[in-house]
Structure formats: structure tokens, C-alpha cells
Amino acid sequence: MASREKSAEEIRQRRKLEVALGYRLLAAQHWGDAGDGHISARDPERPDCFWLLRYGVSFQTARVSDLVLVGPDGDLVEGEGITIPAAYYIHHPILMARPDAVSAVHVHTGWGTPFAAEVRPIEPITQEACVFFEDHAIFDDEEVQVQSVETGGRIADALGSNRAIILRNHGLLTVGDSPAEAVGSFIQMERVAEAHMKVRNPRPISAEAARFSKADLVKHGAGRVAFRSMVTRHVGDVSAVSQ
């Protein structure tokens, strides 16, 4: 029996729930205490608009009702509150440049930010690192205080078709075909950055071995699988989040 095609509203609610859960997962990692991060989700009917958490809500208490819809000019289309301008400057250009991407994630972290200061690529030195092999870019630019869509456009150009980008002296950013994929990938990328900062004299595996590992790791959605596992571990009952 063929499965029923989901309505736009069902897709929207699923994306919004994953965004709210994503913020809670960032909080579980002790990130974003100062509000220094954002998760976006493209609206299925208004693809030039995206959902994210309104400013002032703690990541650890994020709910679907706390999300607002940001329009193509940066103004709120739905919901009440304010947003961080940098979220619009970064996420809008990326989502416009990447029609395949539904979500982007960026938050300042304990290992990703110092790793970004070294301005070096990820190497296949761990299993998780293989997820990003030949699938990440570096934004080698001194504008860490993103103040315009033009800067966001340069980030989008540098990102290209990759799943992730290292923002020089700033931190990490991932994209995905769902908020779950983008958030799960981000948390994995932070662990990869940690490994790079901790290990001495790493011996990367070969490109052939890295490609083989990557193909197996991503076939079911590397980020999505991690996301589901972490929601079970850190959130449990999602009913309160869906309100």
C-alpha cells in the first residue's frame, strides 16, 4: 500500500519540531548559553522564508510556539518577537543559494571555534571525520562579525554544494535536507574538530578508505541518525516541545 503524501502543513510542523528539538540538543551540549547560535528551517510553501527561534528564549526551553518566520527582507512574517540580524544575514543567502538545503546550523562551540582559527581542512583521522571528507569548505575571511547579506552571500559561495563549512576565526556551519540532518551533522562536526585539536601527529586514512567509509555512514543520513539517538538521550518525551 502506497504511503500518503504529506501536506505542506505536516511538513512544516515536522520541520518546526526538529528545529525546536535541535535547539534543545545544542543546549544539552552546553552551547548557545549566550544566545550565540541559530538553526533555520525553510518553509515548504514560502521557500524564501525560514523558521528559527525568536531572540530571548533559552535553547533548553525551546518549543515550536517559540519559533518565528523570517521573510526574504529580514522582517517577521509570522510570530512575535525579535531575531538576531546575523541569523538573517547568514541563513537567508545560504538557503537561497542552496535549493536542496532545508536547514542550516551555526553555533559557537568549545572546539569548533578554535579549530576554525587554524584555518585548516578536516582530514580523515577518525570515523566521523569521513562524513565530511571532500564535503566541506573553508570561508577564509576576516569578517567574523557578519553584518550584511553580502557577507552571507560570500559564505554561501564558499560553501558551494558541500554539507559544511569552516568559518575562519568564527566556527562551524552545516546544512542539510532537514533540520535533523543539519543539527546531527553539526554535532558530529564539532566532535571531529575536537579530535583534530587533541590528537598529535595524526595519521589520516587513505582517500579511498575515507570515501568507502563515508558512503556507508551517510547512506541513511549521518546527521539524521545521530539526531534521533540524541533526542532519545537528551529530550525523551517531545510532547512539551511540540506545543
- Predicted pLDDT of residue 2: 58
Q: Is residue 240 part of a domain?
A: no
Q: Is residue 243 part of a domain?
A: no
CATH code of residue 225: 3.40.225.10
Number of domains present in the structure of the chain? 1
- Contact between residue 54 and residue 82 where contact means Cβ atoms under 8 Å apart: yes
pLDDT digits (tens, 9 = 90+) for 216-233: 999 988 898 889 998 988
pTM strictly above 0.85? yes
- All cell numbers assigned to 28: 544539552
Contacts of 95 (CB under 8 A, 6+ apart): 40, 42, 47, 50, 101, 104
| CA atoms within 13 Å, Cβ hemisphere of 37 | 32
- Predicted pLDDT of residue 5: 86
- All cell numbers assigned to 27: 543546549
Return the percentage of the chain with pLDDT > 70, whole number. 99
- Tell me the residue range of the domain where 104 lies: 8-234
Contacts of 84 (CB under 8 A, 6+ apart): 35, 38, 55
The SS3 assignment for 45 reads coil
Q: Is residue 202 part of a domain?
A: yes
Number of residues assigned to the chain: 243
Start-to-end CA span in the chain (Å): 32
- Contact between residue 98 and residue 158 where contact means Cβ atoms under 8 Å apart: no
Q: Is residue 239 part of a domain?
A: no
- Predicted pLDDT of residue 63: 96
pLDDT digits (tens, 9 = 90+) for 51-89: 999 999 999 999 999 999 999 999 999 999 999 899 999
Q: Is residue 1 part of a domain?
A: no
Q: Is residue 242 part of a domain?
A: no
Q: Is the pLDDT of residue 204 over 60?
A: yes
What mean pLDDT comes out for the span 115-128? Answer: 97
Q: Is residue 2 part of a domain?
A: no
